[in-house]
């Protein structure tokens, strides 16, 4: 029997970006709030100090900051007729574990997902007709608008610290920014990062072709920065140890130096690390949560924490897993295509694995190790550009951003050579030495639309260290995704050619998704939001339709995946939902719509 603790008002599961924002926003209510985080505490001084943090073997190869799959992993398969097998090693994606979550080792690319995504079905029906959307594509409006989220995007940007250049200020297009972005009331809090040679060449080539390149908005501080809560961040040093690493200079927006310390100033906020939530507990009606069950992983003790309100702020996969383990909502079954929890799981195409153009120059050095997680330039002409006619570009839905500029050149993984080079020996070394300084990648990142085979369910065979069924991921890229990437590769090649390299190569293929090499931690869906309880898991305030005192944050609520990275809307929607909880739910608990 679990030891039962005295009840509290709110339990938050997970202390990453979303959990940190929730705790900070709800802290001032004075209510008793417990945050349960499965991993340990983290500080910049102790965990991200120089020189230890700049250890490519430990942090990139051995994934020391990420979730430990020996304790809990997923099973994976490409389609429902395959038998899923455990992802025995981390690979394709790298969710975090410990205070700050994935936010300590993210790359910082920050986007505002606007009505192009939030009203996706309406947009396509209107522009291309109902028939344009394949019957088996469960494309959905999100039930929320950009106008509603705009102030919250701003709040996230001024909390995390984003370096960038506005492209649309109050409806006025700004030269040098992204002309296709949603109108913003305020520019980014910080000017763009210093551009490197590769970025400048990409920008020039793109603009000469009539596209609109702009510096990638990203959470590395171009200058020292004080955020809206008075938290101080340092200036980025372009050290090239950013994605997959913590920052010793506090120059990357991370929850552990922004929202979390601010939340913990409230004495009523109690952070319990090494506390692994097993499930949400429901009352006998199954319609109300009574708290959570968790394990103190330092002792193995099972503990029940009663609470009036439960906020799931694990990573996307964890939140869907917890919903399924707790029996909240109807689980999706890919055979019958019924049920909702676990449906519309999406990923992102690209990530360097496919759709990258590698350019080689022998007359200049790019010094590619002078880099930051989000350094680079982007072209959004084939993604957020509403005028771009997809019907003429292969007939797809969604699109791809095209970018250049690298996050690092750490040589264990970064030693590009032209195809056909031997894998070892003196000739290999000569080619590595020759091209290390002279290579650039131009690559597309593609949206992924829902497909009825792609989903998250519970695995019938494999268990985690607590004896609970693993989450089972069924995923593959489908026709629409390949169309997006195929077009993106053509456009990338066009830009790459205009950069005038000595040689260039294209790695596009229609190969299926593999769990092995890293691609991105942009997993979405499984608890989609919407305006109808029959077709969505949570409402626009991220509140469970089935159990109204459970809220779900993070990318799990996205009904499809964009080409943009997910954390902008994850952050904005956490602020938005926190406001709804503070101003409405706590006063009158019940369904908010």
Partner 1 sequence: MPDPKMRRRDVLLGAGVVGASALPIAAPPAVAQPAAPAATPAKGAAPAAGPAPAGYTFLKPSEQAFVEAMVDHMIPADELTPSGTDVGLAIFIDRACAGSWGKGDRLYLQGPWKQGSANQGYQLPLTPAELYQRGIAGSNAYCRKTWGKSFDRLAAADKETFLKDLAAGKIMFAGGIPGREFFTMAYQTVMEGLFSDPIYGGNRNMVGWRMVGFPGVGANNAENIKKYNDGTRFTVEPLGIADFS
Ligand X SMILES: Cc1cc2nc3c(=O)[nH]c(=O)nc-3n(C[C@H](O)[C@H](O)[C@H](O)COP(=O)(O)OP(=O)(O)OC[C@H]3O[C@@H](n4cnc5c(N)ncnc54)[C@H](O)[C@@H]3O)c2cc1C
- C-beta separation of 321 from 328 below 8 A: no
Nearest-approach distance from CB 588 to ligand X, in angstroms: 27
Cα(293)–Cα(540) distance, rounded to whole angstroms?
27
End-to-end alpha carbon distance in the chain: 37
Please, which of residues 233-272 interact with ligand X by CB under 6 A? Answer: 243-244
The two three-digit tokens of residue 375, written as one number: 């350094």
Nearest-approach distance from CB 391 to ligand X, in angstroms: 30
Q: What are the backbone angles phi and psi of residue 520, rounded to the nearest 5°?
A: -165, 160
Nearest-approach distance from CB 366 to ligand X, in angstroms: 21
- Find how far residue 503's CA is from the centre of its chain: 33
* Per-residue binding letters, 539-568, with ligand X (x by CB under 6 A): --------------xxx---------xxx-
Whose CA is closest to 440, among 356, 358, 318? Answer: 358
**218 strand-pairing partners:** 109, 163
**349 strand-pairing partners:** 446
Should residue 293 be labelled a site residue for ligand X when binding is judged by CB under 6 A?
no
Should residue 89 be labelled a site residue for partner 1 when binding is judged by CB under 8 A?
yes
Should residue 432 be labelled a site residue for partner 1 when binding is judged by CB under 8 A?
yes
Should residue 296 be labelled a site residue for partner 1 when binding is judged by CB under 8 A?
no
Nearest-approach distance from CB 82 to partner 1, in angstroms: 7
Cα(509)–Cα(521) distance, rounded to whole angstroms?
21
Candidate ranges 23-31, 311-319, 447-455, 542-550; the one touching ligand X (CB under 6 A): 311-319
By a kind-dependent CB cut-off of 5 to 8 A, residue 243 interacts, out of ligand X, partner 1, none, with ligand X
By a kind-dependent CB cut-off of 5 to 8 A, residue 69 interacts, out of partner 1, ligand X, none, with partner 1
Nearer to ligand X, 376 or 501 (CB): 376
Nearest-approach distance from CB 422 to partner 1, in angstroms: 9
Should residue 183 be labelled a site residue for partner 1 when binding is judged by CB under 8 A?
no
By a kind-dependent CB cut-off of 5 to 8 A, residue 109 interacts, out of ligand X, partner 1, none, with ligand X
Should residue 502 be labelled a site residue for partner 1 when binding is judged by CB under 8 A?
no
> Binding residue for ligand X (CB under 6 A) from 42, 77, 109, 212?
109
DSSP H helix total and E strand total for the chain: 12, 22
- Position of tokens 């069950």? 293
* Active-site amino acid positions: 522
For 348-411, the DSSP string reads: -B-TTTSSEEEEE-SS----TTSB-TT-SEEE-TTTT-TTS-GGGGTS-SS-EEEEE--S---T
Sequence-separated (6 or more) residues with CB below 8 Å from residue 234: 221, 224, 249, 250, 251
198, 201, 207, 211: CA torsion to nearest 10? -40
Should residue 103 be labelled a site residue for ligand X when binding is judged by CB under 6 A?
yes
Nearest-approach distance from CB 440 to partner 1, in angstroms: 12
* 127 three-class SS: helix
The two three-digit tokens of residue 64, written as one number: 């020391």
Whose CA is closest to 269, among 37, 31, 99? Answer: 31
Candidate ranges 82-90, 260-268, 302-310, 380-388; the one touching partner 1 (CB under 8 A): 82-90
Nearer to partner 1, 285 or 426 (CB): 426
For 32-56, the DSSP string reads: -EEEE-SS----HHHHS-TTTT--H
Cα(350)–Cα(245) distance, rounded to whole angstroms?
22
Tell me whether strands 455-463 and 439-446 are parallel, antiparallel or unpaired: unpaired
Nearer to partner 1, 24 or 353 (CB): 353
> Binding residue for partner 1 (CB under 8 A) from 512, 584, 591, 593?
512
> Binding residue for partner 1 (CB under 8 A) from 4, 28, 52, 386?
52
Distances 462 to 80, 83, 455 between C-alpha atoms, Å: 16, 11, 17
* 300 three-class SS: coil
- C-beta separation of 43 from 51 below 8 A: no
Nearest-approach distance from CB 430 to partner 1, in angstroms: 7
Candidate ranges 101-109, 112-120, 142-150, 194-202; the one touching ligand X (CB under 6 A): 101-109
Should residue 593 be labelled a site residue for partner 1 when binding is judged by CB under 8 A?
no
* 265 three-class SS: coil
Nearest-approach distance from CB 364 to ligand X, in angstroms: 27
Candidate ranges 123-131, 342-350, 423-431, 440-448; the one touching partner 1 (CB under 8 A): 423-431
Nearer to ligand X, 236 or 570 (CB): 570
Nearest-approach distance from CB 275 to ligand X, in angstroms: 6
Should residue 95 be labelled a site residue for ligand X when binding is judged by CB under 6 A?
yes
> Binding residue for ligand X (CB under 6 A) from 8, 12, 36, 247?
36
Cα(280)–Cα(298) distance, rounded to whole angstroms?
21
Whose CA is closest to 549, among 188, 8, 1, 6? Answer: 8
Residues that bind partner 1 (rule: CB under 8 A) add up to a total of 70
Nearer to ligand X, 124 or 153 (CB): 153
Should residue 450 be labelled a site residue for ligand X when binding is judged by CB under 6 A?
no
By a kind-dependent CB cut-off of 5 to 8 A, residue 508 interacts, out of ligand X, partner 1, none, with none
* 314 three-class SS: coil
| Cβ-closest position to ligand X | 16
By a kind-dependent CB cut-off of 5 to 8 A, residue 548 interacts, out of partner 1, ligand X, none, with none
Should residue 526 be labelled a site residue for ligand X when binding is judged by CB under 6 A?
no
By a kind-dependent CB cut-off of 5 to 8 A, residue 250 interacts, out of ligand X, partner 1, none, with none
Nearest-approach distance from CB 208 to ligand X, in angstroms: 28
Distances 134 to 129, 392, 480 between C-alpha atoms, Å: 11, 17, 9
Q: Contact positions toward partner 1, by CB under 8 A?
A: 50-52, 54-57, 61-63, 68-70, 73, 76-78, 82-91, 194-197, 200, 235-241, 363-367, 369-370, 409-413, 415, 423-426, 429-430, 432-433, 436-437, 461-463, 512-516
Q: Contact positions toward ligand X, by CB under 6 A?
A: 13-19, 36-39, 94-98, 101-103, 105-109, 243-244, 276-277, 313-315, 318, 521, 553-555, 565-567, 570
């Amino acid at each position: 029997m679990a030891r039962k603790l005295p009840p509290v008002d709110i339990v938050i599961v997970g202390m990453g970006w979303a959990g940190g924002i929730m705790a900070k926003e709800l802290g001032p209510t004075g209510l008793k709030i417990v945050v349960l985080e499965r991993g340990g505490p983290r500080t910049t001084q102790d965990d991200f100090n120089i020189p230890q943090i700049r250890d490519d073997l430990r942090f990139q190869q051995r994934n020391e900051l990420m979730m430990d799959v020996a304790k809990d992993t997923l099973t994976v398969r490409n389609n429902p007729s395959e038998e899923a097998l455990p992802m025995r090693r981390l690979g394709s994606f790298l969710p975090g574990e410990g205070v700050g979550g994935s936010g300590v080792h993210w790359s910082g690319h920050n986007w505002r997902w606007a009505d192009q995504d939030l009203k996706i079905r309406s947009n396509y029906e209107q522009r291309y007709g109902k028939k344009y959307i394949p019957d088996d594509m469960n494309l959905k409006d999100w039930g929320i608008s950009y106008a509603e989220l705009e102030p919250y995007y701003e709040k996230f940007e001024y909390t995390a610290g984003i370096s960038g250049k506005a492209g649309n200020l109050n409806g006025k297009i700004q030269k040098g920014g992204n002309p296709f972005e949603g109108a913003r009331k305020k520019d980014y809090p910080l000017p763009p990062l210093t551009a490197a040679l590769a970025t400048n060449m990409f920008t020039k080539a793109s603009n000469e072709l009539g596209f609109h390149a702009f510096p990638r908005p990203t959470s590395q501080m171009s200058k020292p920065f004080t955020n809206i809560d008075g938290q101080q961040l340092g200036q980025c040093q372009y050290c090239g140890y950013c994605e997959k690493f913590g920052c010793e200079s506090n120059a990357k927006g991370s929850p552990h130096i922004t929202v979390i310390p601010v939340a913990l100033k409230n004495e009523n906020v109690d952070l319990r690390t090494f506390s692994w939530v097993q499930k949400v507990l429901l009352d006998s009606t199954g319609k109300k949560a009574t708290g959570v069950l968790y394990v103190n992983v330092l002792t193995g003790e099972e503990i029940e924490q009663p609470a009036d309100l439960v906020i799931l702020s694990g990573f996307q996969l964890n939140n869907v897993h917890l919903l399924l383990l707790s029996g909240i909502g109807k689980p999706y079954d890919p055979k019958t295509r019924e049920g909702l929890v676990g449906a519309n799981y999406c990923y992102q195409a690209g990530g360097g694995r496919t759709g990258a153009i590698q350019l080689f120059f022998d007359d200049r050095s790019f010094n590619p190790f002078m880099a930051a997680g989000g350094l680079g330039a982007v072209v959004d002409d084939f993604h957020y550009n509403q005028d771009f006619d997809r019907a003429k570009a292969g007939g797809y839905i969604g699109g791809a951003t095209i970018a250049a500029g690298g996050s690092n050149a750490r040589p264990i993984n970064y030693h590009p050579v032209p195809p056909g080079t031997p894998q070892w020996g003196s000739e290999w070394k000569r080619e590595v030495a020759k091209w290390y300084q002279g290579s650039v990648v131009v690559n597309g990142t593609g949206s992924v639309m829902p497909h009825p085979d792609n989903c998250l369910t519970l695995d019938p065979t494999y268990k985690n260290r607590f004896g609970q069924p693993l989450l089972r991921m069924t995923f593959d890229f489908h026709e629409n995704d390949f169309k997006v990437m195929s077009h993106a590769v053509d456009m990338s090649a066009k830009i790459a050619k205009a950069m005038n390299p000595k040689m260039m190569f294209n790695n596009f293929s229609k190969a299926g998704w593999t769990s092995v090499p890293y691609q991105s931690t942009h997993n979405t869906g499984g608890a989609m939001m919407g305006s109808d309880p029959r077709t969505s898991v949570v409402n626009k305030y991220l509140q469970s339709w089935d159990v109204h005192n459970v809220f779900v944050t993070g990318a799990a609520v996205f009904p499809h995946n964009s080409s943009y990275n997910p954390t902008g809307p994850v952050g904005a929607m956490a602020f938005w939902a926190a406001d709804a909880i503070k101003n409405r739910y706590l006063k009158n608990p019940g369904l908010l719509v």
